[in-house]
A = this chain, B = another copy of it.
C-alpha cells in the first residue's frame, strides 16, 4: 500500500502550463502532484568555446530549488557560495537528457539554456524538470522556426522522465517524497517519445536489486513516460 493510496503503476496527476513568464523564449510550469517546477528556455546567439566554429548548437540546463520549496528550509546555494553536489549532478543530467533529442547541426551555432527552478518539492524534481524543461525547449525552438532563423526542426523527438523504485518490496512508479525517503532502491528513466532509452539511473542505498526487478522497473517506466509524452503533446499543441 502506497502512502498516497496510489496503485503501484499509477502516476500522480500531471499538468503542464505554458507561457508562464513574459521574458523567456519558452517557459512552462510543470506540476507533478505537489512537485512544481518552473522551466524557462533562454536562446542566445553564442555557444560554449569548445564548439565555436563547428556550426553546431548546444543545449544546457541549470537547476535550483527555492530555499523553502522543501519541508524544512534549505540553505540558499548562492549564500553557501557554491552549488552542491546534488545540484550539479541533476543539472548535468537534465542537459544531457535534453541534448539526446536535439539535432545540434539543425540547431545551428546558438545555445539554449533551460533553467529548472523548483518552486515546491515533493519528490521527483529532476524528472519533472526534464519533462517540463523539454516543453520550454520546444516552445523556444518553435520561435526559432517561426522566425525563419532555422528551417529544419532540431528536436528529433520528445524527451520525458519518470522515477521508479522499490518501495516496501514492490516496484512502484513516480515516487513522491514519503516514498522516496523510504525506498532502498530508486532511480530515473529518461526516454524518447518513440520509447528509446536515453538514460537509466537505478541506484540502491543500503540495498540491492535483482535483474527481474530491473525488468519490472523498466516496464513501469515505459508506461509512465508514454503518459508524460501525451501531456507534453497537449501542452505544446
Which residues on A are within 8 Å of B, measured CB to CB? 21-24, 27, 34, 38, 40, 42, 44, 62, 64, 66-71, 73, 76-83, 85, 87-89, 92, 96, 99-100, 104, 113, 115, 117, 119-121, 187, 192, 196-211, 214, 218
Residues from chain B with Cβ under 8 Å of A104 in the complex: 206
Residues from chain B with Cβ under 8 Å of A66 in the complex: 38, 40, 64, 115, 117
Residues from chain B with Cβ under 8 Å of A203 in the complex: 96, 198-201
Taking a contact as CB atoms under 8 Å apart, the answer to whether B119 and A21 are in contact is yes
Nearest CB on B from A59, distance (A): 11
A23-B120, A42-B68, A85-B89 given; name 8 further pairs at CB < 8 Å. Answer: A38-B119, A62-B79, A67-B115, A76-B115, A104-B206, A197-B210, A197-B214, A211-B218
Nearest CB on B from A18, distance (A): 14
Nearest CB on B from A48, distance (A): 14
Nearest CB on B from A133, distance (A): 12
Query: A157 — nearest CB in chain B belongs to which residue?
Result: B208
Query: A196 — nearest CB in chain B belongs to which residue?
Result: B208
Residues from chain B with Cβ under 8 Å of A62 in the complex: 67, 76, 79
Taking a contact as CB atoms under 8 Å apart, the answer to whether B99 and A206 are in contact is yes
Those 5 A-B pairs whose CB atoms lie nearest each other, nearest first: A77-B78, A196-B208, A85-B88, A40-B68, A42-B73
Residue from A22, A67, A81, A203 with most neighbouring chain B CB atoms (10 Å): A203
Taking a contact as CB atoms under 8 Å apart, the answer to whether B187 and A209 are in contact is no
